[in-house]
Structure 1
Amino acid sequence: MKKHYLQSQIYLFLLLIIGVMSCDGQNKTDNQVVTNAIKSAKIIKPQGIYKDAAIGTGMQDKAGNIWFGSNGEGVYRYDGKTFTHFTTKDGLDNNIVYSILEDKTGNIWVGTKTGLNRYVPTTPPSAGGKAFTQIPIIVNRGNNSSLLNGVWSMMQDKKGTIWLGTDEGVYCYNPSTMLGGGSIYFTRFLDDSNIINKDTLKLKAIFSILEDKSGKIWFGACMNEGISRYDGKTLTNIIPYNDIRRVNKIIEDRSGNLLFASSFNGVCRYEPSALLKVGGKAFSKNVFMRKQGYQGNILKDKSGNIWFDENNGLGFYDGTKHKILTEKDGLPTSNMFPILEDKSGNIWFSSIGMGLYKYDEKSFTNFSE
């Protein structure tokens, strides 16, 4: 995919998904590095040039903090009481955030429009009091040059390897492999000559990476390559781009089927078990019969329920019934985007203008100004 096309699509992709306290100085709270980041009781309205900025990604760390990434307003961390706001002033290379990951050692990784950043909770701030450190993607041993490289997706597999889906391809990082001086060493996945790649895949601009229950790695691409799968030896194009087009998110349901949030074909499904049946159809488009339109995200909660954004509300599927929830059902807005489920079972949703809401199975709580 050509890079100028990606840049032109950035705003559309992130637009559709979807009292301030003084600086804290350099101190630690609950073993968290706070530095100069601003704390507030709620998510504040967009302060930058993107007035329709929205939260597009999120995750909860081992300590219980919830991290939210936005398209223009940097990163927010919620500790259960207040939000701490991190931007380029706190070391991020860009305030347009695509992905967030906590690794197995508790470090927080943030992928942005232009690079990769890391937050280490147990380490004092870097020189100048910055909470985040920018991590160059070093592509060759001894080569200290980095790529201006958007990091769209991240995943750490069962073996501990961190996978990055970037503009320039998929890169991997093994935390046990370090360069001299403590530099982080990335390898380009397709540079491994042992990988069988008969479909000559490039794996550029991968918007979602998933490791399924059996350990296979799935890749969802923005353009050209659709859905691909790596089984440990062979990389195979499973669903051609022309059949599914752009894929924004991959999840695995409780039956072992793969669900894909696609931009132009709604929620699609791949059923591996169907391949064992005579005349079985493994791939189905728009399984919830959604009206034509953008499909930004899809979320599976602990009960196995599926949540996804709808044209004028929120999609919900409990394994048997499909419902479209609207403002008549108590939604605070018709434009809602599922972000994550926290450890308490609450579902968090976002909307344009930095809207943020928590649903506790009974009602919605607004966490934005």
Structure 2
Amino acid sequence: MPLLGLRALILLVSLSATAAAQDKNPEPKAANGEAVSELGKNIMYVMQAKNDVYWFGSNDSGVYRYDGKTLVNFTTKDGLVSNQIRGVQEDKSGHIYFTTYEGISRFDGRAFTTLTASEKADPKEWKLRPDDLWFVGPQDSGVVFRYDGTSLHRLAIPKTKIGEEWLDQFPRTKFPNARSNPYDAYTIVKDRKGNLWIGTANAGAGRFDGDSFRWLYEDHLTNVENGGSFGIRSIHEDKSGAFWICNTRYRFGIDAKDAPKPEKGMLKYKREKGFDVNASDGSDRVYFMSVVEDAKGVLWMATYNAGVWRYDGESATRYPVKDGAKEITLFAVYKDNRGDLWLGTHKAGAYKFNGKTFEKWRP
């Protein structure tokens, strides 16, 4: 075959292979969304990206993007994997990630793609790297996910004595329709030393230091006084290095020198006094869904049905959050790039602090 003909044949084969590859991995459809005049009612999360764009994650209507001028709603019609959002975060490149029970969506500024996780949980992939992203897993799974920028790793939360005792008490053979796993992750955060903390449904709070897990469990952190289970929904290390976990009664000094020797697999810690409250149900503590610390070191705690509590280290003040005359229920509190405080609510949209009170936000 003449050299020119051979080159033409090679080029044709190469183009055919490229076209076939493109057919197998088509470019995601651009997400245009729909311009809207207001947010949906159930806003679970508020997040401001590095470019100052706000993202609002809903419990039932996808996500909303606000650039200071236009509010745009994105749903599964635009490529989002689910309209029920369970978390929003950003990577170092500015990509936005949305956690849902159906999977994890990444938005690159143009389109949504769904991350595909490994089918099996590999314990060797429990690694702690500064740029990795962490995501809670689906309900009743007992797993979390770690994304290293290339692969999404499925990771089973290690079994504990407390967790296994819970499973013995509530066996699936007796409760086949229960959609609860003691190892389900409610929250994932990093402390100042870079350790990873996972708050679970009924196994307590676990700390992963890159090599091993150690746990903190106290019954009152998971189970409320008047019955029912709250789980570990929020973990925060304050400016002094103490940890606030779920409720206001105590804070915890982790690895404190004068702390008692722990049992095997448990964290060394001591309890310190939190602050006193008079909850509406007569309790001496309130459970918070979410907490942030402002520039002055003041803690702001969002509760489900008791408003927001502000604690400055000496005194605590409650801020009721209302829609008209009625107090509303809350999901989360968030601090934006300027230090402004936001609330995600149940059936009332998003709220913003005006310096005196929290008021309903409208674009």
- Give me the TM-score of the superposition, normalised by structure 2: 0.68
Letter in 1 for 2:352: K
- Structure 1's 212 and 281: CA in aligned 2 closer, same or farther, altered over 3 A? closer
**Which among 256, 259, 265 is matched to residue 244 of structure 2?**
259
- Structure 1's 314 and 198: CA in aligned 2 closer, same or farther, altered over 3 A? closer
- Structure 1's 40 and 190: CA in aligned 2 closer, same or farther, altered over 3 A? closer
Letter in 2 for 1:174: D
Mapping for residues 89-238 of structure 1, pairs under 5 Å: 89-121=77-109, 124=110, 131-139=111-119, 159-167=130-138, 168=141, 169-175=143-149, 178=150, 184-188=151-155, 204-223=183-202, 225-238=203-216
- 2: CA distance between counterparts of 1:210 and 1:317? 21
- What SS does the corresponding residue of 1:244 show, helix, strand or coil? helix
What corresponds to 1:335 in structure 2?
Answer: 328
- 2: CA distance between counterparts of 1:281 and 1:173? 30
Contact 1:316 1:324 in 2 (8 A): yes
- What SS does the corresponding residue of 1:304 show, helix, strand or coil? coil
Deviation at 1:74, TM superposition (A): 1.3
- 2: CA distance between counterparts of 1:350 and 1:332? 18
Deviation at 1:68, TM superposition (A): 1.4
**Which among 265, 269, 272 is matched to residue 254 of structure 2?**
272
- 2: CA distance between counterparts of 1:323 and 1:163? 33
- Structure 1's 363 and 295: CA in aligned 2 closer, same or farther, altered over 3 A? closer
Contact 2:191 2:197 in 1 (8 A): yes
What corresponds to 2:34 in structure 1?
Answer: 38
Unaligned runs of 5+ in 2: 1-28, 122-126, 165-181, 223-230, 262-267
Deviation at 1:363, TM superposition (A): 5.5
What corresponds to 2:315 in structure 1?
Answer: 321
Contact 2:157 2:183 in 1 (8 A): no
Mapping for residues 285-300 of structure 1, pairs under 5 Å: 287-289=275-277, 291=279, 292=283, 295-300=288-293
- 1: CA distance between counterparts of 2:189 and 2:288? 18
- What SS does the corresponding residue of 2:77 show, helix, strand or coil? helix
What corresponds to 2:221 in structure 1?
Answer: 244
- 1: CA distance between counterparts of 2:90 and 2:209? 24
- 1: CA distance between counterparts of 2:73 and 2:249? 33
Contact 2:45 2:344 in 1 (8 A): no
- 2: CA distance between counterparts of 1:340 and 1:104? 20
Alignment RMSD (CA, Å): 3.5
- 2: CA distance between counterparts of 1:354 and 1:335? 7
Contact 1:100 1:109 in 2 (8 A): yes
- What SS does the corresponding residue of 2:215 show, helix, strand or coil? strand
Contact 1:42 1:367 in 2 (8 A): no
- 1: CA distance between counterparts of 2:249 and 2:53? 30
Letter in 1 for 2:31: T
Letter in 2 for 1:237: W
Contact 1:199 1:237 in 2 (8 A): no
- Structure 1's 74 and 174: CA in aligned 2 closer, same or farther, altered over 3 A? same
Letter in 2 for 1:253: D
Contact 2:205 2:217 in 1 (8 A): yes
- What SS does the corresponding residue of 1:276 show, helix, strand or coil? coil
- Structure 1's 364 and 354: CA in aligned 2 closer, same or farther, altered over 3 A? closer
- Structure 1's 190 and 353: CA in aligned 2 closer, same or farther, altered over 3 A? closer
1:83-128 Cα shifts (integer Å, max 9, x gaps): 211111111222111111111111111111221111111xx4xxxx
1:238-295 Cα shifts (integer Å, max 9, x gaps): 225x34211111111111111122xxx5565212265526899723687443524663
What corresponds to 2:351 in structure 1?
Answer: 357
Contact 1:102 1:108 in 2 (8 A): yes
Percent of matched pairs sharing the same residue: 27
- 1: CA distance between counterparts of 2:317 and 2:309? 6
Q: Aligned pair count?
A: 289
Letter in 2 for 1:217: L
- What SS does the corresponding residue of 1:271 show, helix, strand or coil? strand
